[in-house]
């Protein structure tokens, strides 16, 4: 396939192990960077026409209204859920109504994890019901939950130094927030590192610079050969409080219950739509994104906004009739891996 790829929307499935990354692949015509730059610059008028149509013209606010409708009608759309399938059907019907070409659904398997009921109560040094959010792919606790003493650490290094204290404990990570890219390691690998030193569960301070007693969720990763232990995020406030309690020498005990379950991969669909360009119909510009969202939000971000923006991009370009290459939208329950398979 002769293709020029631009992917401006991350395509990481929320429950996959991959993060969205832009893919750049040289046109096989071996054009120089300067030639490509010149071609892009020649589209200035087209870019202005698109902006005018979307921001000031006939379709002013349309992408926002479409996002609002999708979010309000469906709600959160975790992969494997009925909500995601409903969103795919809405997207599919809307792409057809916009008169795009070759609109179709392609079967794909997606992960299916559900958090079910979850709760955490501090029993010592005082009774305190804690706000938690289980992490995606976490196992649940055994029925009746886990009651264990807490070991608070602020880093993986501290966990290593205090490894002899960790057996049978719930590890609480109170890592300071530096940047998302650095701090998110505690969410990704916190459970594995805790399990390696014999802990029975791990609770991670939400990866956030700010909190209103609001725990965050996100994906975490188990490792082959390391026992799987339940893991959840706690609020910045509770992580800081337990650090203070530990520094005063208080014994902290938590009762944790999580009903999280991983089901077999579920049937889903990628949604595809195209417009064929006038000058280079054999060349493809690919726009992609994922429709799924975490189960505890509105589904407006990651990747609701991106989903609608990329859908809107096709519809705007079609309405303007300015297309030279083929524009292809791939949208759905899509991991980077399945996008790769799609491209083959």
* Bridge partner list, 142: none
Query: Least distance to a copy of itself from the beta carbon of 277, Å?
Result: 35
Q: Is 274 or 295 the residue whose CB approaches a copy of itself more closely?
A: 295
Per-residue DSSP letter, 203: E
Q: From residue 263, how far is each of 81, 113, 115, 333 by CA, in Å?
A: 11, 6, 11, 16
**Least distance from a copy of itself to the Cβ atom of residue 200, Å:** 24
Residues 6+ apart with CB under 8 A from 116: 140, 258, 259, 260, 261
Beta bridge partners of 273: 329
CB contact set of 108 (below 8 Å; sequence gap of 6+): 267, 268, 269, 270, 332, 333, 334, 338
- Min. distance of Cβ 121 from a copy of itself in angstroms? 13
CA 164, 167, 168: angle at the middle one, nearest 5? 155
Nearest to a copy of itself of 43, 69 (CB atom): 69
Least Cβ distance, residue 296 to a copy of itself (angstroms): 8
> Min. distance of Cβ 214 from a copy of itself in angstroms?
4
Comparison of 57 and 75: residue with beta carbon closer to a copy of itself:
75
- What is d(CA 330, CA 274) in angstroms, rounded to the nearest whole number? 9
Shortest reach from residue 152's CB to a copy of itself, in Å: 13
Q: What is the dihedral of CA 184, 185, 186, 188, to 10 degrees?
A: 90
By beta-carbon proximity to a copy of itself, the closer residue of 101 and 240 is 240
**Closer residue to a copy of itself (CB): 183 or 235:** 235
Query: Which CB, 74 or 323, lies closer to a copy of itself?
Result: 74
Helix (H, G, I), strand (E, B) or coil at 82: helix
Backbone φ, ψ for residue 309 (5° rounding): -60, -45
C-beta of 75: minimal distance to a copy of itself in Å?
6
Choose among 200, 144, 208, 209: nearest CA to 172.
200
Rounded Cα gap, residues 111 and 208, in angstroms: 26
32 vs 247, beta carbon nearer a copy of itself: 247
The footprint of a copy of itself (CB under 8 A) covers 68-69, 71-75, 125-126, 128, 211-214, 237, 241, 244-245, 248, 297-298
Who's near 58: CB < 8 A, 6+ residues apart? Answer: none
The residue (of 156 and 177) whose beta carbon lies closer to a copy of itself is 177
CB of 330 to a copy of itself, least distance (A): 28
């Amino acid at each position: 396939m002769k293709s020029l790829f631009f992917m401006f929307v991350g395509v990481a499935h929320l429950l996959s192990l991959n993060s969205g990354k832009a893919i750049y692949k040289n046109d096989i015509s071996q054009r120089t960077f300067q030639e490509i730059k010149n071609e892009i610059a020649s589209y200035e008028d087209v870019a202005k026409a698109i902006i005018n149509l979307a921001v000031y013209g006939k379709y002013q606010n349309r992408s926002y209204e479409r996002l609002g409708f999708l979010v309000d009608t469906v709600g959160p759309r975790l992969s494997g859920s009925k909500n995601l399938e409903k969103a795919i059907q809405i997207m599919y019907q809307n792409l057809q109504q916009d008169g795009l070409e070759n609109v179709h659904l392609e079967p794909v398997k997606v992960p299916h994890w559900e958090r079910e009921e979850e709760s955490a109560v501090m029993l010592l040094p005082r009774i305190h019901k804690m706000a938690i959010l289980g992490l995606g792919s976490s196992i649940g606790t055994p029925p009746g939950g886990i009651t264990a003493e807490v070991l608070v650490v602020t880093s993986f290094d501290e966990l290593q130094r205090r490894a002899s204290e960790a057996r049978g404990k719930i590890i609480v990570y109170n890592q300071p927030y530096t940047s998302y890219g650095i701090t998110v390691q505690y969410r990704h690998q916190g459970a594995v590192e805790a399990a390696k030193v014999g802990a029975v569960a791990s609770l991670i301070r939400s990866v956030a610079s700010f909190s209103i007693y609001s725990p965050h969720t996100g994906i975490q990763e188990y490792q082959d050969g390391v026992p799987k232990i339940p893991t959840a995020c706690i609020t910045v406030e509770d992580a800081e409080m337990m650090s203070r309690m530990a520094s005063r020498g208080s014994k902290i005990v938590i009762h944790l219950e999580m009903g999280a379950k991983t089901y077999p991969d579920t049937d889903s669909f990628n949604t595809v739509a195209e417009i064929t360009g006038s000058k280079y119909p054999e060349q493809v510009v690919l726009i992609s994104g994922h429709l799924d969202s975490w189960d505890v939000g509105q589904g407006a971000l990651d990747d609701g906004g991106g989903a609608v923006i990329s859908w809107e991009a096709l519809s705007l370009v079609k309405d303007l009739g300015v297309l030279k290459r083929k524009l292809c939208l791939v949208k759905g329950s899509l991991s980077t891996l399945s996008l790769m398979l799609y491209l083959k």
